[in-house]
Copies of this chain bind each other. A is one copy, B any other.
Amino acid sequence: MTLQEIAKLVDGNILGKAEITITGVTNLDNATASDISFAVEPHISQGETCNAGAVIIPDNVEQYGKPAIRVANPRAAFTKLLELFTPPLKIKREVHSTVVIGENVTIGNNVAIMPYVVIADDAIVGDNVILYPHTYVGQNATIAEDSVIYPNVTIREYCRVGKRVIIHSGTVIGSDGFGFITEQGKHSKVPQVGNVVLEDDVEIGANVGIDRATTGSTIIKQGTKVDNLVHLAHNVVIGENGLICSQTGIAGSTKVGNNVTFAGQCGSVGHINIGDNCVFVARSAPIGNVPAGSYYGGFPARPHKEWLRNEAAANKAVELVKKVRDLEKRLAQLENKN
């Protein structure tokens, strides 16, 4: 494809030679003369000196040291090209002969159900669903249209997976919540008879654990994306369009609003309410209700500025100890004089 043709596809305008030929799409570090890459600040000048044949850049760049396409959103344009240039995997639309299907199971059209998938009684698999090998779909579970479940995923009984959901390998949907009654030091299991509901357009990373509710549902609302190794406990509700980054853990019954971000390795106590549009920076963990629109850091999580200011002051503790010791001496001298 010529740079001219690519520029049309991404609705951009060209700076430099339009006739060069592009055969691949990759990042600045790996790009060769036949690749196109993209650069946004602070990497725009690195784009000029890299080996790429051309670079997609923001439309406010006036001059550039190599052929470029200027667009409003370079990352979005790059994403479009990635989809275009990447050869799709070969997916056979069939139910493989080794798939074990229970009684009264409903399977939609145009599905790809790969070797050794097991689908238990009364489950429903919608149209166009792709189930990779070794996936388990429990009794009465449902997976709606266009969802993709990668290998070695477990979806336990009665759980509901929405449309266009992606679940990565090793993830467990609907394991029992961690609920016990303790009498005389011994723990008896509280039956966990609820389920998990993943709404439409949810994506769940690898080796995540989402526990079924004790009663009712643990719910991940539409458009929310969950990263690897996250723990979501029983009866948690995560609102729409959230981002829950890797290794975060949310304890039981906590309700999280819409458009909330937890950065990596965050936590939360159970039984609290977190409002819409909150952001928790890496490793923070709220221990009480959080109002909508909060930008929080630290453990216990508090307003980010306050946390940073306090951390900065606390990091002067060595100096502070010395100063106080010095003040004590000088004050004692003065007191003696007086």
Residues of A within 8 A of B (CB): 25-27, 29-30, 73, 75-76, 79, 82-83, 86, 89-90, 96, 98, 100, 114-116, 118, 121, 132-134, 136, 139, 150-154, 156-157, 166, 168-172, 175-176, 178, 180-181, 183, 185-191, 193, 203, 205-209, 211, 213-217, 223, 225, 227-229, 231, 233, 235, 241, 243, 245-247, 249, 251, 259, 264-265, 267, 269, 282-283, 285, 299, 309-310, 313-318, 320-321, 323-324, 327-328, 330-331, 334-335, 337-338
Query: A75 touching B181 by the CB < 8 A rule?
Result: yes
Shortest CB–CB separation between residue A263 and chain B, in angstroms? 9
Query: B187 touching A241 by the CB < 8 A rule?
Result: yes
Bound Cα distance from A90 to B169, whole angstroms: 26
Query: B178 touching A246 by the CB < 8 A rule?
Result: yes
Closest to A29 in B: B216
If the complex has contacts A150-B154, A229-B231, A241-B186, are A170 and B207 also in contact, measured as CB distance less than 8 A? yes
Shortest CB–CB separation between residue A201 and chain B, in angstroms? 8
Query: B211 touching A231 by the CB < 8 A rule?
Result: no
Query: A324 touching B327 by the CB < 8 A rule?
Result: yes
Query: Can you offer 5 A-B residue contacts whose CB atoms are under 8 A?
Result: A27-B214, A75-B181, A86-B191, A180-B225, A265-B285
Closest to A326 in B: B328
Shortest CB–CB separation between residue A183 and chain B, in angstroms? 7
Number of copies of this chain that the complex holds:
3
Closest 3 CB pairs of A and B: A313-B317, A209-B228, A154-B169
Residues in B neighbouring A317, C-beta threshold 8 A: 310, 313-314, 316-317, 320
Query: B231 touching A246 by the CB < 8 A rule?
Result: yes
Bound Cα distance from A33 to B55, whole angstroms: 63
Query: B225 touching A178 by the CB < 8 A rule?
Result: yes
Closest to A324 in B: B323
Query: A156 touching B169 by the CB < 8 A rule?
Result: yes
If the complex has contacts A152-B136, A169-B172, are A282 and B259 also in contact, measured as CB distance less than 8 A? no
Partner of A249, one of B150, B154, B169, B246: B246
Shortest CB–CB separation between residue A226 and chain B, in angstroms? 9
Bound Cα distance from A320 to B313, whole angstroms: 8
Partner of A282, one of B75, B139, B269: B269
Query: A132 touching B136 by the CB < 8 A rule?
Result: yes
Query: A116 touching B100 by the CB < 8 A rule?
Result: yes
Query: A114 touching B118 by the CB < 8 A rule?
Result: yes
Residues in B neighbouring A89, C-beta threshold 8 A: 139, 157
Query: A136 touching B134 by the CB < 8 A rule?
Result: yes
Bound Cα distance from A154 to B241, whole angstroms: 28
